Amino acid sequence: MSGGPGTTWLGLLDGKQSQLRELGCDKSSALDSEGAFRAAFEGICRKYKEKFPTRLLANLLRSYGNIIAFASAAGGAAQPASPNALAALVWGASFATIEVISI
């Protein structure tokens, strides 16, 4: 369906991923799952010698359950071929935020 909601949805996601790259958050656009986010988060914690990364991550992920469920449902409804695209954007943008505030 040319020009339909799916096309707009994909354009939005591509635009947001491009914005992350333009801001210098290249790694963030590759974080597309909880596992990838977790590994990157633990890496940044090691870099800054955080003593309790597991506790920080647990607190953060506790709030993400509903957010990711919503993003996955919205992404699936808007673009069935790529239901995890919005959730992947949430993971990537979240890490970009953490990365920026830890500088």
Q: Which of 26-35, 59-68, 80-89 has the highest mean pLDDT?
A: 59-68
Q: Would the pTM of this model clear 0.75, i.e. be above it?
A: no
| CA distances from residue 59 to 21, 39, 99 in whole angstroms, order as listed | 27, 16, 17
The alpha carbons of the chain give a radius of gyration, in whole angstroms, of 15
Looking at residue 54, its pLDDT comes to 92
Q: Which has the higher per-residue pLDDT, 85 or 7?
A: 85
Average pLDDT for the chain = 78
Give yes or no for residue 70 having a pLDDT over 70. Answer: yes
- How far apart CA 37 and CA 43 sit, in angstroms, is 10
In sequence order, which residues have a C-beta less than 8 Å from that of residue 64 and are 6 or more positions away? 34, 90, 94
Please state, for a pLDDT cut of 70, what percent of the chain lies above it. Answer: 73
In which domain, by residue range, is 87 found? 5-101
Q: What total of structural domains would you count in the chain? A: 1
